[in-house]
Structure 1
Amino acid sequence: MSDELAAAGIRDPRLRAGYLRCKRLLAEHDKSYYLAALLLPPARRPFVHAIYGFARHADEMVDGGDTAGFEPWRDRILAELRAGDTDDEFGRALLHTVRTWDIPLRYIEDFLAAMTSDLTVTSYETYADLEVYMHGAAGTMALQLAPVLGARSEEAVEAMRLMGIAFQLTNILRDVGDDLQRGRVYLPGEDLRRFGVTEIVAGQRFRELIKYEIARTRSLYRQARAGVPLLDPAGRSTALAGMRLYGGILDAIERSGYDVIAQRVSVGAGRQLAIAVPAYLRSLLARSA
């Protein structure tokens, strides 16, 4: 929606181009995030696009084969963000977002450090180890998003961080097969041993392990949802819809018989719209009240 940028006061052509590129990348690769962002007032949506678009661009470089180019890009973009000027389209939109919402640059630094670890780290021994990675890879993104959603208290900000970690753990469970092909196993080693899983293959022990991890993920969602009432009204629908959309992936894993090795489950478009459309109408009513 072209009026989103005007509503946000973004008129500079070069800056608009960066925001639009972030939006296109988000719409192409992260339908759940994109639909959830539609529940925000138009003036706030571009900032969500910038945060997730920048993150998706970095993630695509790491996972999409441009590993040699990632570290030079990371070093350059961090230096330019600190200096306050960049020609990178993704970085330009993110820098404007950071300035608009007073977002600490350390969140971007921690996020890029987590992406860098994906170049060399292929497994995690404990859940505590994995949690550190998930905080960097997704918790920091949720922390960037927190002021846009109206998190004004420490409790609300922590709830958003837990939401990000829940999203990341959901991704990990969905992507077990894809990650295996990349030589990565994010499931904690201590959990593999607890369920007697000596290799990642289908079977009863592996199914029990995935059930355990799903229960852990749903606990994170419950903790995050408890903080939603602490957000500004404009952000509540977005946070709840995002958790329902992403939480639906866990339901899809269960329906598949916990087969996350041979296939990559997804939430169908019909289900996504069944969640997003009523939430969108409720958000319109709330804004007009």
Structure 2
Amino acid sequence: MTTQAGQNLMAHATQTIEVGSKSFAAAAKLFPPATRRAVLMLYAWCRHCDDVVDGQELGFASAPMAQVTHDAPFELDRLYDNTRRAYEGEPMRDPAFAAFQEVALGHAIAPRYAYDHLAGFAMDVNEARYRTIDDTLRYCYHVAGVVGLMMASIMGARDEAVLDRACDLGLAFQLTNIARDIIDDAAIGRCYVPDAWLLEAGIQPDLVALPRHRAALATVAARLVDHAEPYYASASIGLAALPLRSAWAIATARNVYRQIGVEVKRRGPRAWDKRVGTSKATKLRLLALGGLQALASRFGASRELPVRRGLWQRPGRAAPATGSAGPATAA
């Protein structure tokens, strides 16, 4: 790849993250240059796949005519095919796939992770229903947990116990996103909140967006935010296994996303009046906190991570000999 081509890819990836995720864009600046490039390249591919399946551009609705002609199953098949071609080393014209090819081959990202990610978009295309929290967590794994696995691979993580913690962070991020975006998701006919939780709160899943349900919906959103907490805690334990600057970036991203959940819970029924985010001042405070957490992880850390108990297990990983199915502690 020429230097100019490499610069163009980086410019494309940088623009993608700055528009698509202001929360993660701030944290990504903390990575060392080579890691930051790879992280942004991977993000650009993930964002592209999401947009292609949904008929959007950088998370926003595209032109009405494009939506009318959008064929999600066809587009999903193309994503699978282009991902296969990228792993086989074929020249990639699409910037998102050229970026993915560079990072996937350069960092030996396991193909199963990429295909697991695409399986999450297939769940959307197939209009999957989420009846239990385990169903929701399975979706969270595919669209976010496995992204954590790929990001950790970029940072040099290969130990399965460390990868578990990276996956946990992705699960926590997505649970937070689901709580924040319940009404926006309902507007496009999707609901990732467990049907069982909605019914317990007196809400029919297909009527989740009705204004009269706001108070009850706030209790469900708070429950999702609480459910994310042990996964955020588990992710913190994995910081010690990352290089210092990467640990700082990840700790900052963790803090920013977690704060979004805190704010959703604080706002209650008004959580969906305006999209919840974090101010620049709050991001700076959480960045400083992330630095302290990264430094603290350097001291007194054991070579072996404690066993995860009571947390959802990613595919291919056996559950511990003891422990329950629901979220308990992250020790």
TM-score range, shorter chain: 0.7 to 0.9
- Please, what TM-score do these two structures have when normalized by structure 1? 0.86
Give ranges in structure 2 of 5+ residues lacking alignment.
Answer: 57-61, 296-331
Q: Equivalents in 1 of 2:125, 2:248: separation in Å?
A: 36
Amino acid at match of 1:111: H
Aligned to 2:236: 225
- Alpha-carbon RMSD across the aligned residues, in angstroms, is 2.5
Q: Aligned-pair distance for 1:179?
A: 0.4
Q: Is the 8 A contact 1:166 1:220 kept in 2?
A: yes
1:92–1:276: structure 2 CA closer, same or farther, 3 Å change rule? same
Amino acid at match of 1:170: T
Residue from 132, 136, 157 that aligns with 1:151: 157
Q: Equivalents in 1 of 2:108, 2:186: separation in Å?
A: 38
- 1:1-289 alignment runs, 5 A limit: 12-63=3-54, 64=56, 67-68=70-71, 70-85=75-90, 86-121=92-127, 123-198=129-204, 199-200=207-208, 201=210, 202-276=213-287, 279=290
Q: Is the 8 A contact 1:176 1:260 kept in 2?
A: no
Q: Aligned-pair distance for 1:11?
A: 5.2
- DSSP 3-state at the match of 1:173: helix
The C-alpha deviation readout for 1:240-268, integer Å capped at 9, x for no partner, is: 10100111111221232243444321112
Q: Is the 8 A contact 1:27 1:34 kept in 2?
A: yes
1:126–1:282: structure 2 CA closer, same or farther, 3 Å change rule? closer
Aligned to 1:5: none
- Please, what TM-score do these two structures have when normalized by structure 2? 0.76
- DSSP 3-state at the match of 2:268: coil
Q: Aligned-pair distance for 1:281?
A: 10
Taking CA–CA contacts closer than 8 Å with sequence separation of 6 or more, which of the two structures ends up with the larger relative contact order? 1
- DSSP 3-state at the match of 2:131: coil
Q: Aligned-pair distance for 1:152?
A: 4.0
1:76–1:150: structure 2 CA closer, same or farther, 3 Å change rule? closer
- DSSP 3-state at the match of 1:256: helix
Percent identical: 25
Aligned residue-pair number: 276
Q: Aligned-pair distance for 1:19?
A: 2.8
Q: Is the 8 A contact 2:147 2:170 kept in 1?
A: yes
Q: Is the 8 A contact 1:126 1:188 kept in 2?
A: yes
